């Protein structure tokens, strides 16, 4: 399953809900959720721990739009829009975490 998270981990518990509830699969961080994929943020340790259970992806155009393209955490997989489509096509279902 593809889990899509779009809320910042600094202002929402959406990412925590996803990490604590989902069983496995791919997580794609888009929009303000991309802050979680950066070095030195409050969610970095949670993502590192989750990497044993999930593949963590980040939408690079959203990361770059926030000026954070050079600050991505190790182990996070960057994807472009075509990669987003591939993730959606290669997973049986998608869950948007609101």
Instruction: Express each pLDDT in 63-85 by its tens digit.
Output: 999 999 999 999 999 999 999 99
Query: What residue numbers bound the domain in which 18 lies?
Result: 2-97
The contacts found for 37-45 with CB under 8 angstroms, 24 or more apart, are 37/63, 37/72, 37/73, 37/76, 38/63, 38/68, 38/71, 38/72, 38/73, 39/71, 39/72, 39/73, 40/71, 41/9, 41/10, 42/9, 42/10, 43/9, 43/15, 44/73
Residue 42 has pLDDT above 90, yes or no: no
Q: What is the CATH number of the domain that holds 51?
A: 3.40.1260.10
Provide the greatest CA pair distance for the chain. 33
Domain count, the chain: 1
Its pTM stands at 0.95
């Amino acid at each position: 399953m593809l889990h899509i998270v779009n809320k910042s981990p600094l202002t929402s518990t959406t990412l925590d809900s996803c990490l604590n509830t989902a069983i496995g699969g791919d997580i794609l961080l888009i929009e303000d959720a991309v802050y979680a994929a950066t070095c030195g943020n409050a969610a970095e340790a949670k993502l590192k721990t989750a990497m044993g259970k999930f593949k963590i992806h980040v939408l690079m155009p959203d990361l770059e739009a926030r000026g954070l393209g050079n600050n991505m955490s190790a182990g996070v997989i960057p994807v472009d829009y075509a990669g987003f489509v591939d993730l959606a096509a290669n997973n049986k279902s998608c869950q948007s975490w609101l």
